């Protein structure tokens, strides 16, 4: 921490967000976390003028240009993990080319309450500034008008102060890589800069709405300008006429979000420090990755036509959910053993359960784990299907191997019948029967679709 500032509370150190609803109570204030960027070789890090201004402040501040060059390389290679942005501070785990991880932070002085009052008054005076921000733009005249009101939005020389576990006292490759990635975030959304300065988007828009409503009310009553303090004391809700007058500052409803091509990558929790007792970072990373997979699946379902008419999904039991988790996120051995135990099976049998899940979810898992007894009607219907499924002379020799199972004589293949009358193929591998394909209404189709381990879904 620099000695140039007497009060570290204006940074996002460990003091809460410094705003009215967080100051002094130990909370860190609003925070946004952005998924790690994939490698991006050969492209610039900033295309907007404010993104380039951010990088100019970095390059003017750093004493060693070689450190920043290495930082650009790390950023392009995808070495920067998920980026956390909160008032006064940005944070990420940055990995060297050899995989060594360092926590890197960059501190930026926050605006105080008086600064924000001047900025908000200036923005309300000029509706075009609000419209630009809602369009994710930051026109130069907005920054110039803010500076004219005594508020510096963009950082200048020396404003980006680094902290890194590598021990460097100036900008190092890790803090440089973090700043280059943040420039890409700023390109997409200037509200990221305003969050670093101390206000999140929702709070900023709410305060602009209150001030706009106060202006409209004051103009209607006496033609005078109502102060923000008066608005906070006197406005209890907003009448319809005033809300209509302030509608210009509210964004339209967004279009449905596009479905990502794949689930996002979660943050790395390997900080090279001993975790608290009872905390397993690897298991938490699995849960974070699973949350991303499920969120993407929920988004796809929500955007599908007719989604509102679909029944609610059946809630999984803990053993079923453990198998689903292993199937979705492919955990490492130690976490896999924990999931196997949670599913009620030895670790060596988890692979078979995962294959079953990928072929057919809960129904396929039930066929693997349960052997049920068909009633005479079910059994007779199954015998008829087995007799009619193949052309004359093509029917394999089947022997009854259980209450609802038939094994192909002379082959390591088996058919299993579920309670809904569907047939599931199984294959014997290394002395165990394992799922070999999805269900089929025809026993012949199920056997034809049997797959080896090498062909199993991944």
Q: What is the mean pLDDT of the chain?
A: 81
DSSP-assigned letters across all residues of 30-71:
--EEEPPPPP-TT--S--SHHHHHHHHHHHHH-S-HHHHHHH
Q: Which residues contact 351 (CB under 8 A, 6 or more apart)?
A: 434
User: Residue 16 has what pLDDT?
Assistant: 35
Crossing angle (nearest 10°) for helices 318-329 and 333-343: 150
User: Residue 274 has what pLDDT?
Assistant: 83
Within a 10 A sphere around the Cβ of 428, how many other Cβ atoms? 14
User: Residue 350 has what pLDDT?
Assistant: 92
The dihedral sign for the CA sequence 110, 113, 114, 120: positive
Is the predicted pLDDT of residue 205 greater than 80, yes or no?
A: yes
Closest CA to 50 of 199, 185, 205: 185
Band of pLDDT at residue 293, cut at 50, 70 and 90: confident
User: Residue 84 has what pLDDT?
Assistant: 94
User: Residue 255 has what pLDDT?
Assistant: 80
Is the predicted pLDDT of residue 405 greater than 50, yes or no?
A: yes
User: Residue 176 has what pLDDT?
Assistant: 94
User: Residue 181 has what pLDDT?
Assistant: 94
What is the mean predicted confidence (pLDDT) over 291-301? 87
Is the predicted pLDDT of residue 197 greater than 90, yes or no?
A: yes
Q: How far apart are the C-alpha atoms of 263 and 330, rounded to whole Å?
A: 14
User: Residue 366 has what pLDDT?
Assistant: 94
Helix (H, G, I), strand (E, B) or coil at 394: coil
Residue percentage of the chain with pLDDT more than 70: 83
User: Residue 9 has what pLDDT?
Assistant: 34
Condensed to tens digits (0 to 9), the pLDDT of residues 441-455 reads 888 888 888 865 445
User: Residue 219 has what pLDDT?
Assistant: 55
Within a 10 A sphere around the Cβ of 77, how many other Cβ atoms? 16
Condensed to tens digits (0 to 9), the pLDDT of residues 416-436 reads 999 998 999 999 998 899 999
User: Residue 7 has what pLDDT?
Assistant: 36
What is the mean predicted confidence (pLDDT) over 151-179? 92
Contact 368, 353 (CB under 8 A): yes
User: Residue 321 has what pLDDT?
Assistant: 93
Is the predicted pLDDT of residue 131 greater than 50, yes or no?
A: yes
Condensed to tens digits (0 to 9), the pLDDT of residues 311-364 reads 888 889 999 999 999 988 778 888 888 899 999 999 889 999 999 999 999 999
What is the mean predicted confidence (pLDDT) over 199-210? 86
Is the predicted pLDDT of residue 257 greater than 90, yes or no?
A: no
Band of pLDDT at residue 236, cut at 50, 70 and 90: low
Is the predicted pLDDT of residue 90 greater than 80, yes or no?
A: yes
Band of pLDDT at residue 216, cut at 50, 70 and 90: low
User: Residue 204 has what pLDDT?
Assistant: 86
Condensed to tens digits (0 to 9), the pLDDT of residues 377-388 reads 888 888 888 888
Contact 85, 217 (CB under 8 A): no
Between 406 and 44, where is the model more confident?
406
User: Residue 139 has what pLDDT?
Assistant: 79
Condensed to tens digits (0 to 9), the pLDDT of residues 349-359 reads 999 999 999 99
């Amino acid at each position: 921490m620099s000695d140039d500032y007497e009060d570290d509370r204006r940074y996002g150190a460990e003091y809460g967000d410094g705003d009215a609803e967080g100051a002094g109570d130990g909370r860190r204030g609003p925070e946004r976390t952005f998924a790690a960027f994939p490698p991006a070789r050969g492209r610039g890090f900033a295309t907007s003028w404010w993104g380039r201004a951010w990088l100019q402040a970095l390059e003017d501040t750093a004493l060693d240009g070689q450190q920043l060059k290495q930082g650009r390389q790390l950023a392009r290679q995808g070495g920067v993990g998920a980026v956390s942005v909160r008032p006064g501070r940005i944070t990420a785990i940055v990995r060297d080319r050899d995989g060594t991880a360092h926590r890197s932070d960059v501190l930026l002085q926050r605006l105080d309450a008086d600064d924000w009052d001047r900025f908000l008054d200036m923005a309300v005076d000029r509706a075009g500034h609000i419209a630009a921000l809602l369009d994710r733009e930051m026109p130069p005249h907005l920054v110039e008008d803010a500076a004219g009101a005594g508020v510096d939005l963009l950082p200048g020389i020396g404003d980006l102060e680094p902290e890194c576990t590598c021990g460097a006292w100036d900008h190092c490759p890790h803090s440089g890589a973090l700043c280059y990635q943040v420039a890409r975030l700023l390109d997409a959304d200037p509200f990221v800069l305003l969050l670093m300065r101390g206000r999140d988007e929702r709070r900023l828009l709410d305060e602009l709405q209150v001030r706009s409503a106060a202006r409209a009310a004051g103009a209607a009553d006496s033609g005078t300008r109502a102060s923000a303090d008066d608005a906070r004391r006197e406005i209890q809700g907003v009448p319809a006429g005033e809300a209509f007058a302030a509608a210009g500052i509210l964004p339209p409803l967004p279009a449905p979000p596009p479905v990502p091509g794949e689930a996002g990558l979660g943050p790395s929790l390997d900080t090279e420090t001993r975790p608290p007792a009872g905390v397993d970072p690897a298991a938490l990373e699995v849960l974070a990755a699973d949350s991303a997979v499920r969120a993407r699946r929920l988004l796809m379902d929500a955007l599908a036509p007719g989604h509102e008419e679909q029944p609610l999904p059946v809630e999984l039991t803990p053993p079923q959910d453990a198998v689903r988790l292993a199937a979705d996120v492919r955990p490492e051995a130690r976490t896999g053993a924990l999931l196997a135990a949670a599913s009620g099976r030895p670790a060596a049998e988890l692979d078979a359960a995962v294959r079953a899940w990928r072929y057919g979810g809960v129904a396929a898992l039930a066929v693997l784990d349960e052997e049920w007894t068909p009633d005479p009607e079910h059994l007779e219907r199954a015998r008829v299907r087995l007799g009619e499924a193949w052309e004359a002379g093509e029917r394999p020799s089947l022997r009854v191997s259980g209450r609802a199972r038939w094994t192909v004589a002379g082959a390591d293949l088996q058919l299993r019948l579920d309670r809904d009358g569907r047939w599931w193929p199984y294959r014997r591998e290394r002395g165990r029967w394992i799922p070999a394909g999805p269900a089929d209404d025809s026993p012949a189709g199920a056997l034809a679709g049997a797959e080896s381990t090498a062909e199993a879904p991944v």
